[in-house]
Amino acid sequence: MGAGVAALALLPLGFIAVYTVTVGPDEARELLLRPRVGELLVNTVRLVVAGIALSVMLGLGCAWLVERTRVPFGRVWHLLLVAPLAVPAFVNSYGWVSLTPRVEGFAGAVLIVTLSYFPLVYLPVSASLRGLDPALEEASYSLDHSRWWTFCRVVLPQLRPALLGGSLLVGLHLLAEFGALQMLRFPTFTTAIYDQYRSSFNGPAATMLASVLVACCVLLLYAELRLRGRRRYARVGAGVPRSVPRHELGRLNLLAVPALAGLVALALGVPLSSLARWLVVGSSTAFPMDELTAAASTSLTLGGAAAALTVLLALPVAWLAVRQRDLVSTVIERSTYVASSLPGIVVALALVTVSINVAQPIYQTFVLLLLAYAIMFLPRAVVIVRAGLEQAPPMLEDVSHSLGVGPLATARRVTLPLLLPSMGAGAALVFLAVTTELTATLLLAPIETTTLATRFWSHSSAASYGAAAPYALLMILISLPATYLLSRRPTEPVAS
Amino acid sequence: MTSVTVQGVAKSFGGRQVLEGIDLEVPQGNLTAVLGPSGCGKTTLLRIIAGFVHPDAGVVRLGGLPVVGAGHRTLPPQRRRVGYVPQEGALFPHLDVRANITFGLPRGLRRGPRLADMLDLVELPRGVASRYPHELSGGQQQRVALARALAPDPAVVLLDEPFSSLDASLREGTGRAVARALHAAGATAILVTHDQGEALSLADQVAVMRAGRLAQVAAPPELYRSPADTEVATFVGRAAVLPGHVTDGFAQCALGEVVVGSSDVRGDALVVVRPEQITMSSPRDGLVEARVADVTFYGHDTAVHLEVLPSGPAVVARIFGVQVPARGAVVSLEVSGQVTAFGLPPRPLD
């Protein structure tokens, strides 16, 4: 089962590998050893490095302020810091670019992608901070260690899985980001591949670029694997841990509150106000109700179906990774990650090629599009379902069996209820991703089918910012419930 | 309720032998404690009986019927009717006390009187039924875990260090209550523990486990009075092990001449003396003298640490009452009652 999911996820990679081999070494060298490729490599690497570094700083800092200090309005900040996930990166860059063209280029690109993706670090880190046992920190204080020393030597090592997991997600997103960077005119491998396909339909050249991108992704996965180690993080304790004492900020509030407010203003305020401005004053603004409802309902349907399918596929993978920790299960889990770093267009074209050759009936149908979404967004579901499974010790299943309850009933009455919150969170994350997905949708959606994202893109790339605005607004509105679901604390009662 | 029979059970994990040649008979309605230091394999034995772990060799019978081994089809845990109370309770965190306790009952019986009966049995107020596990104290969680295990009327109840996470003050009361509930239910039970006080005070029978093997299986008084070897003697209660020489039922050792209980030991031997067998008096001729090195006052009794003069071994005497000797005082020692002696292999000739 897990192996089947992995095989599906590896399909696009296989497509690239086969293409690379058919091209042959001579032509491959000719295609790769070009100044253009070097330039793309430098751009991609510095974007990923700077984006991860900034996201970690922002995510860690905000998580600490919200979870461990008495900063005023903590709950409100939490919601506002998760909210940027509801604003797609390409809508964010649309907001900035339509405001000032000066954000084009490297600095602007790093700023905007970080503002869009730092919640991916903030969320797991704040969840970990909540779950830490305060006794460890108290022990450190009692040994006369300072707050700063304790934070670096006691708290940070425990946050490592969350920080590394979040960084990996940010890195993979940046490798695959297309819309925002295209709008900001900052070329990376992903945008170059898109241009290559669109302009010349030059298969081999684009696929060679994609192979370098895949290499970057593999490197990132390997680094995370090495840094994380093989420790287990299941907590098998009685009841819930004590709640963590919070630091009194005192006069530092005068720094902390404006810092948080500034970040929220940049990440949410700028794109939203710019959107509002275009809605109100844009000369091309119009509200074609029929088109809007059609696109919205397509987005909702696709998002819901893809979320359900992806979480179902994530279950066996997460199960193997947690309960049967060995080389095979690690390979299976990691192979699902590989696919998500491939730009949507590569996944899409791989599926187009494969379906035309071996599965003609599903070509140009929603089935193929859903499969593409599942391949691309599987890691998000796996990461979250996996974390939930680590909180459900196998002992509970043993106890259930000893009470005369068989395996199926145990799954229904014990394992599933314990997993539901994380499955819900995983589904929400996939739903968010699908409603804002652009490239695969552009290529795979059945003819005449449009979603909010594709409508927005066709208007804004034609510089009709006003016409694009209502679609962006709707996209954000239907993302809000899922974002709220994600911001909910996992410790809130799950029982009826 | 049924008996439990374990014969020749062996298990190894990744090349490491965890259990070897385990034979254990637990009669119907009996509470047996498996006592051993952590890592000796006692939890593995419990998990094999429950059916969570498959043994490499051996047979487990419940009420005479083989559930694993002896060429029979292995019975899965859910068909063995074995209640299991794991460490720290492991209550289902998403269910309240009512749903936890009635978890193993058929749907139709979940609303019946069984819940109230079980709460009464483990001496919990009815009001806790609607609470969630995280709203209970450790002792309450443990009692709910026992009620959950007993509710489906299991053939056997297995308890894996159920009290180790409790405070010392809660541990004894909870232990008594659990033992009472098990007896009231007429349950056959196996309790795994590393606490010898718990094993001796709660169990009808104690099996001492050491490095994957059973060293001795006996009723608590017999285990204490006639340990199988010096290691069991020092593990189950405190004891001084002194080298000595046995002739005609008497042993000569650092504490003088002592009476050896029923034993055919002769020649060089190790003599086991319990602290409460040593009595102290003011110095008298003809008796062994010792200096008081330290005094530990426990309230109900006192441990007096002694150094036998002139350079003899250190021993501990336990005395009752509040009359305790001062540190540094010199006293005479006598040994009352019979001691156990273990023969040593004859020394090779030089």
> Is the Cβ pair A238, B165 closer than 8 Å?
yes
**Residue A435 falls within a domain, yes or no?**
yes
**Residue B170 falls within a domain, yes or no?**
yes
**Closest Cβ–Cβ partner in A240, A403, A414 for B148:** A403
Burial (Cβ within 10 Å: 0-12, 13-18, ≥19) of residue B172: middle
Does residue B225 sit in the same domain as residue B243? no
Task: Measure the CA–CA gap between B120 and A359, rounded to whole angstroms.
Answer: 64
Task: Measure the CA–CA gap between A441 and A435, rounded to whole angstroms.
Answer: 10
Q: What is the pTM of this model?
A: 0.70
A vs B: CB pairs below 8 A = 80
Q: Of the candidates B188, B216, B232, which is a domain's last residue?
A: B232
Instruction: Report the number of distinct structural domains present in chain B.
Output: 2
Distance to chain A for B78, nearest Cα, Å: 4
**Closest Cβ–Cβ partner in A404, A493, A494 for B81:** A404
Task: Measure the CA–CA gap between B305 and B291, rounded to whole angstroms.
Answer: 9
Task: Measure the CA–CA gap between A378 and A9, rounded to whole angstroms.
Answer: 8
**Contacts with B109 (C-beta within 8 Å, 6 or more apart), sequence order:** B102
Q: What is the pLDDT of residue B188?
A: 92
ipTM of the complex: 0.78
Does residue B249 sit in the same domain as residue B225? no
* A417: closest chain B residue by CA: B94
Interface of B with A (CB under 8 A): 47, 50-52, 76-84, 86, 88-90, 92-96, 103-104, 132-134, 136, 138, 141, 148-149, 152, 154, 158, 165
**Residue B37 falls within a domain, yes or no?**
yes
Does residue B16 sit in the same domain as residue B68? yes
Domain extent at residue A101: 2-229+269-487
**Residue A251 falls within a domain, yes or no?**
no
Identify from A240, A398, A399, A418 which residue to disrupt to test chain B contact, counting B C-beta atoms within 10 A and taking the largest count: A399
**Residue A415 falls within a domain, yes or no?**
yes
**Residue B153 falls within a domain, yes or no?**
yes
Distance to chain B for A84, nearest Cα, Å: 32
Does residue B247 sit in the same domain as residue B318? yes
Confirm if A27 and A92 have CB atoms less than 8 A apart.
Answer: no
Identify from A400, A403, A494 which residue to disrupt to test chain B contact, counting B C-beta atoms within 10 A and taking the largest count: A403
Q: Of the candidates B203, B232, B261, which is a domain's last residue?
A: B232
> Is the Cβ pair B104, A396 closer than 8 Å?
no
Give how far Cα B85 sits from Cα of B63, B177, B325, Å: 20, 14, 46
Measured at the CA of B26, the angle between CA B24 and CA B32, to 5 degrees, comes to 95
Q: What is the pLDDT of residue A242?
A: 56
> Is the Cβ pair A402, B93 closer than 8 Å?
no
Does residue B92 sit in the same domain as residue B222? yes
> Is the Cβ pair B92, A414 closer than 8 Å?
yes
The SS3 call for residue A32 is: helix
> Is the Cβ pair A406, B51 closer than 8 Å?
no
Confirm if A379 and A249 have CB atoms less than 8 A apart.
Answer: no
Give how far Cα B215 sits from Cα of A337, B179, B190, B230, Å: 52, 24, 17, 11
Identify from B49, B94, B132, B160 which residue to disrupt to test chain A contact, counting A C-beta atoms within 10 A and taking the largest count: B94
Does residue B195 sit in the same domain as residue B245? no
* A239: closest chain B residue by CA: B134
Q: What is the pLDDT of residue B263?
A: 66
The SS3 call for residue A445 is: coil
Q: List per-residue pLDDT tens for chain B, 350 residues long.
A: 589 999 999 999 888 889 998 999 999 999 999 999 888 888 999 999 999 989 999 999 998 888 888 777 888 888 888 989 988 778 888 899 999 999 988 888 888 888 988 888 888 898 899 999 888 888 888 889 988 998 888 889 999 988 877 777 778 888 888 888 888 888 899 999 988 888 999 999 999 998 889 999 999 999 998 888 888 998 888 888 988 888 888 888 888 888 888 667 788 888 999 998 998 888 888 788 899 989 988 888 889 999 888 777 889 998 887 778 888 888 988 888 888 888 877 666 55
Burial (Cβ within 10 Å: 0-12, 13-18, ≥19) of residue A496: exposed
Does residue B77 sit in the same domain as residue B168? yes
Supply A129's token pair.
């901070």
CA-wise closest residue to A469 among A482, A483, A455? A455
> Is the Cβ pair A402, B103 closer than 8 Å?
no
Does residue B134 sit in the same domain as residue B176? yes
> Is the Cβ pair A401, B86 closer than 8 Å?
no
**Residue A256 falls within a domain, yes or no?**
no
**Closest Cβ–Cβ partner in A401, A493, A494 for B78:** A401
Q: Of the candidates B212, B232, B252, which is a domain's last residue?
A: B232
CATH of residue B255 = 2.40.50.140
* B85: closest chain A residue by CA: A399
**Residue A243 falls within a domain, yes or no?**
no
**Residue A260 falls within a domain, yes or no?**
no
A399 CB neighbours in chain B (<8 A) are: 84, 86, 90, 92, 148
**Closest Cβ–Cβ partner in B79, B138, B158 for A238:** B138
Q: What is the pLDDT of residue A236?
A: 42
**Residue B349 falls within a domain, yes or no?**
no
Confirm if A478 and A300 have CB atoms less than 8 A apart.
Answer: yes
**Closest Cβ–Cβ partner in A240, A399, A405 for B90:** A399
**Residue B96 falls within a domain, yes or no?**
yes
**Residue B350 falls within a domain, yes or no?**
no
User: Which positions of chain A have pLDDT values less than 50?
Assistant: 232-240, 490-496
Does residue B111 sit in the same domain as residue B225? yes
**Closest Cβ–Cβ partner in A404, A405, A495 for B96:** A495
Q: What is the pLDDT of residue B97?
A: 93
Ranges assigned E (strand) in chain B: 4-13, 16-26, 31-35, 57-62, 65-68, 82-85, 156-160, 188-193, 205-210, 213-218, 240-247, 250-253, 256-260, 267-273, 278-281, 288-297, 301-308, 314-320, 330-335, 338-343
Does residue B184 sit in the same domain as residue B222? yes
* A404: closest chain B residue by CA: B78
Interface of A with B (CB under 8 A): 236-240, 393, 395-396, 398-407, 413-414, 417-418, 493-495
Domain extent at residue B314: 239-343
Does residue B210 sit in the same domain as residue B110? yes
Measured at the CA of B339, the angle between CA B334 and CA B343, to 5 degrees, comes to 125
**Residue A264 falls within a domain, yes or no?**
no
CATH of residue A222 = 1.10.3720.10
> Is the Cβ pair A402, B148 closer than 8 Å?
no
Does residue B199 sit in the same domain as residue B316? no
Task: Measure the CA–CA gap between B33 and A96, rounded to whole angstroms.
Answer: 72
Identify from B43, B67, B78 which residue to disrupt to test chain A contact, counting A C-beta atoms within 10 A and taking the largest count: B78
**Residue B80 falls within a domain, yes or no?**
yes
Write b or e for each residue in B51-71: b if 16 or more Cβ atoms lie within 10 A of its Cβ, otherwise e.
Answer: bbbebbebbbbbeeebbbbee
Q: What is the pLDDT of residue A285?
A: 59
Q: What is the pLDDT of residue B32?
A: 94
**Residue A254 falls within a domain, yes or no?**
no
Task: Measure the CA–CA gap between B126 and B143, rounded to whole angstroms.
Answer: 13
What does B166-217 look like in DSSP terms, one character per residue?
S-HHHHHHHHHHHHHHHHHTT-EEEEEES-HHHHHHH-SEEEEEETTEEEEE
